[in-house]
């Protein structure tokens, strides 16, 4: 092989990668920008109650699936796990809406999920199914959905996610069984356990435990640094991405070329190593994947760095986890690969392709762990493959900050139950260390995207305020029997989704809070045009003119729009009875209620609107309505700039 051939090979390699990358980037940039990135932060935000149409739209699903395939094929340092979670959630969302009307994919029998909670449960199940399928880890999927994705836990939800992932496990198992006869190419290789390390001896001494704790501490620091750098890079990229779709694609091309250069250029730095004589697998590797890539080396030799770079990410992880192959990778090669993957992972996340974070973090962590294992090989008995596993655990703990779910996912990935105490120890140490620096990577991305995420706990400064303090603006309220024109004007001039309804004399003794009415229900009511000339209570009979289904929550982005209404001037002066569509049992707080307690009530019950009622008598029966946005730190600290929040990263 001459040097020219290598240049040609590089050109072919980089060229293929760039073409695939452009395809992925174009899909993302032109069809569904929301499909870029991992998708887990978006799913997490949706399950917190942030109902944004694009997050789970059919176009996002389409781009997520094909963009992810193209992106992974293009050799980027990205994973397919995050996108699979997003894909699962998208499919669940579309099923929950009864299919997609726009793409003429609707099913009658799928119309059961017409309220927020059931739809949220279904999407949680979808996310669980995504993890279960991605890692072939059904129990890990349940725990991921509960620990990271869902904001509200119920035992019913546990049961439903468990059901979902059990089905995933059985279907996966059936496919693997069918494919093990070679019917479907590479699919299903490795069985249910993707990186089996159970063959390694897991006996360890006190010195090993000290080494493992040190590994956890450094892993935690590197993990939180990863989060910090990703945050900075995302801020830079968001500026570039705002310039337009072509700049997005240009960025994708740049990163693709950089990745190709690293993958093809860096292996030249490694020296050829002699193949081990006792290896059971062929060396150098023949075919597509294996432990020993020959690259530029002569027969009987292999290039260890090429075995990591010029393989799929999955195979590279498998190589790093491989046990009883202590000397396979040189310390220098591991160091080069670690630095390259660590930074490639950081700069790749955020470009306009679907990109999961699990694989880059596991890859960098496994390399880091194996490196530590090589460094400690004189004092520690633990296999370097197991060190790689622990290193991956420390990185995952340091960036994602999950505990039980990561533990079970790693257990299901590697089938090494005896190593469980060490994995738990590493996760504990790395999460604790990393938590003292910054937040988990998904929380950070949610915050960066400006999504109004409700935290589970109230901020300490909220204890100094009461509910009344954060109510803003003049409140718009309706009478129990209201003029059509007034309602229409309010709908047109505000973006509020809930309006308080007040009963006034002669319909009650004094002004009383009747309840709260939703914008969507008002639109349905107005569309029906059941108006009357007089201010009379029409009662429940008005509801008989509607089907129950009319008031069901429509799919996100669907439902009646304000522009769909066609109300003429004459009708503007007519009256309509709002009682039948008013929720007469809204959750209320007294105006002097501590804001912290109000926030907990709002968050725990998963509310969208909360009424603030006056404490003393003789005043209008409602002080204001609180929504998610009123609890956001930006809003509160904007109103009360003198309050110093505790520094929370």
Which residue, 215 or 407, is less far from a copy of itself as judged by CB?
A: 407
CB of 407 to a copy of itself, least distance (A): 6
Structure token pair of residue 158 = 């546990």
In the three-class reduction of DSSP (H, G, I as helix; E, B as strand; rest coil), residue 326 is classed as coil
Smallest distance, a copy of itself to C-beta of residue 615, A: 6
Our CB check for a copy of itself shows the closer of 166 and 335 to be 166
Q: Quote the CA–CA distance of 516 and 578 in Å, as a whole number.
A: 10
Half-sphere exposure at residue 174, Cβ-oriented, CA atoms within 13 angstroms: 5
Q: How far is the CB of 597 from a copy of itself (least distance, A)?
A: 5
Q: Which is nearer to a copy of itself, 136 or 374 (CB)?
A: 136
* The dihedral sign for the CA sequence 405, 408, 411, 414: negative
As a whole number of angstroms, the distance between CA 564 and CA 84 comes to 37
Residue (259 or 479) nearer to a copy of itself, CB: 479
Q: How far is the CB of 193 from a copy of itself (least distance, A)?
A: 6
Beta strands 99-100 and 105-106, pairing class: antiparallel
Half-sphere exposure of 269 (CA within 13 A, CB side): 17
CB of 428 to a copy of itself, least distance (A): 5
DSSP for 274-317 reads EPPTT-SS-SS--SS--S---TTPPTTEEEHHHHHHTS-HHHHH
Burial class for 618, CB neighbours closer than 10 Å (0-12, 13-18, 19+): exposed
Q: Which is nearer to a copy of itself, 53 or 153 (CB)?
A: 153
Q: Which residue intervals of 352-495 are DSSP H helices?
A: 358-375, 384-400, 404-414, 420-435, 441-448, 484-493
* Pair type for strands 99-100 and 575-577: unpaired
275/428 with CB nearer a copy of itself: 428
User: Rounded to the nearest whole angstrom, what is the least distance from the CB of residue 66 to a copy of itself in the complex?
Assistant: 29
| Smallest distance from a copy of itself to CB 197, Å | 12
User: What's CA 627's distance to the chain center, in Å?
Assistant: 23
Residue number with CB closer to a copy of itself (281 or 417): 417
Minimum Å distance from CB 513 to a copy of itself?
8
Chain residues in the site for a copy of itself (CB under 8 A): 138-139, 142-143, 147, 153-156, 158-159, 162-163, 165-166, 169-170, 172-173, 191-193, 198, 403-404, 407-408, 411-412, 415, 417-418, 420-421, 424-425, 427-428, 431, 456-457, 466, 508-510, 512-513, 584-585, 587-590, 592-594, 597, 600-601, 604-605, 613, 615-618
Q: State the angle between helix axes of 404-414 and 384-400 in degrees (0 to 180), rounded to the nearest 10.
A: 150
Which CB atom, from 263 or from 589, has the smaller least distance to a copy of itself? Answer: 589
The CB density around residue 422, as the number of other CB atoms within 10 Å, is: 23
Contact between 388 and 321 under an 8 Å Cβ cutoff? The reply is yes
Nearer to a copy of itself, 103 or 163 (CB): 163
Alpha-carbon distance of 184 to 632, in angstroms, equals 50
Residue 212 or 352 with smaller CB distance to a copy of itself: 212
Residue 192 Cβ vs a copy of itself, minimum distance, rounded to whole Å = 6
Count, residues in the chain:
649
Question: Could you tell me the smallest distance in angstroms from the CB atom of residue 377 to a copy of itself?
Answer: 21
């Amino acid at each position: 092989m001459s040097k020219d051939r290598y240049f040609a090979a590089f050109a072919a390699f980089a060229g293929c990668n760039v073409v695939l990358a452009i395809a992925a980037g174009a899909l993302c940039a032109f069809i569904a920008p929301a499909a870029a990135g991992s998708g887990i932060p978006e799913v997490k935000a949706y399950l917190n109650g942030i109902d944004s149409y694009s997050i789970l739209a059919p176009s996002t699903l389409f781009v997520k699936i094909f963009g992810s395939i193209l992106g992974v094929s293009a050799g980027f340092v990205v994973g397919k796990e995050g996108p699979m979670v997003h894909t699962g959630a998208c499919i669940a969302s579309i099923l929950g809406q009864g299919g997609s009307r726009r793409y003429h994919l609707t099913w009658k029998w799928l119309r059961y999920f017409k309220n927020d909670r059931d739809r949220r449960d279904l999407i949680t199940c979808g996310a669980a199914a995504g993890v279960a399928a991605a890692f072939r880890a059904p129990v890990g999927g349940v725990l991921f959905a509960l620990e990271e994705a869902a904001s509200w836990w119920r035992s019913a939800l546990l049961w439903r996610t468990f059901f979902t992932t059990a089905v995933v496990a059985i279907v996966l198992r059936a496919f693997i069984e069918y494919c093990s006869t070679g019917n479907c190419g590479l699919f299903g290789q490795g069985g249910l356990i993707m990186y089996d390390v159970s063959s390694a001896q897991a006996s360890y001494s006190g010195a090993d435990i000290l080494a493992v704790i040190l590994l956890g501490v450094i892993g935690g620091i590197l993990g939180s640094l990863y989060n910090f750098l990703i945050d900075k890079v995302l801020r830079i990229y968001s500026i570039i991405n705002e310039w337009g779709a072509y700049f997005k694609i240009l960025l994708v091309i740049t990163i693709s070329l950089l990745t190709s250069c690293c993958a093809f250029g860096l292996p030249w730095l490694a020296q050829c190593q002699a193949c081990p004589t006792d290896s059971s697998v062929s060396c150098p590797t023949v075919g597509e994947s294996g432990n020993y890539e020959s690259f530029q080396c002569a027969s009987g030799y292999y290039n260890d760095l090429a075995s990591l770079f010029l393989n799929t990410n999955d195979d590279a992880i498998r190589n790093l986890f491989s046990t009883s192959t202590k000397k396979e990778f040189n310390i220098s090669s591991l160091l080069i690969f670690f630095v390259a993957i660590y930074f490639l992972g950081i700069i790749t996340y955020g470009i306009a392709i679907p990109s999961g974070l699990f694989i880059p973090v596991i890859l960098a962590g496994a390399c880091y762990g194996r490196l530590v294992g090589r460094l400690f090989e004189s004092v520690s008995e633990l296999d370097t493959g197991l060190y790689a596993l622990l290193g991956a655990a420390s990185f995952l703990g340091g960036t994602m900050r999950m505990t039980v779910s990561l533990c079970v996912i790693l257990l299901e990935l590697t089938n090494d139950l005896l190593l469980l105490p060490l994995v738990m120890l590493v996760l504990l140490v790395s999460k604790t260390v990393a938590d003292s620096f910054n937040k988990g990577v998904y929380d950070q991305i949610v915050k960066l995207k400006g999504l109004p995420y409700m935290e589970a706990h109230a901020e300490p400064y909220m204890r100094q305020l009461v509910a009344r303090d954060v109510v803003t603006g003049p409140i718009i309220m309706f009478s129990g029997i209201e003029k059509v024109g007034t309602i229409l004007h309010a709908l047109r001039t505000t973006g509020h989704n809930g309006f308080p309804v007040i009963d006034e004399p002669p319909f009650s003794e004094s002004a009383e809070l009747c309840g709260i009415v939703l914008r969507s229900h008002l639109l349905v009511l107005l569309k029906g045009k059941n108006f009357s000339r007089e201010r009379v209570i029409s009662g429940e009979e008005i509801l008989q003119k509607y089907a129950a289904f009319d008031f069901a929550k429509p799919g996100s982005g669907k439902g009646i729009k304000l522009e769909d209404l066609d109300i003429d001037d004459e009708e503007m002066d007519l009256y309509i009875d709002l009682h039948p569509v008013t929720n007469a049992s809204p959750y209320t707080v007294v105006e002097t209620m501590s804001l912290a307690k109000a926030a907990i009530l709002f968050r725990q019950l998963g509310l969208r609107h909360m009424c603030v009622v006056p404490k003393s008598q003789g005043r209008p029966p409602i002080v204001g309505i609180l929504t998610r946005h009123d609890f956001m730190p930006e809003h509160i600290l904007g109103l009360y700039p003198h309050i110093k929040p505790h520094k929370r990263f």
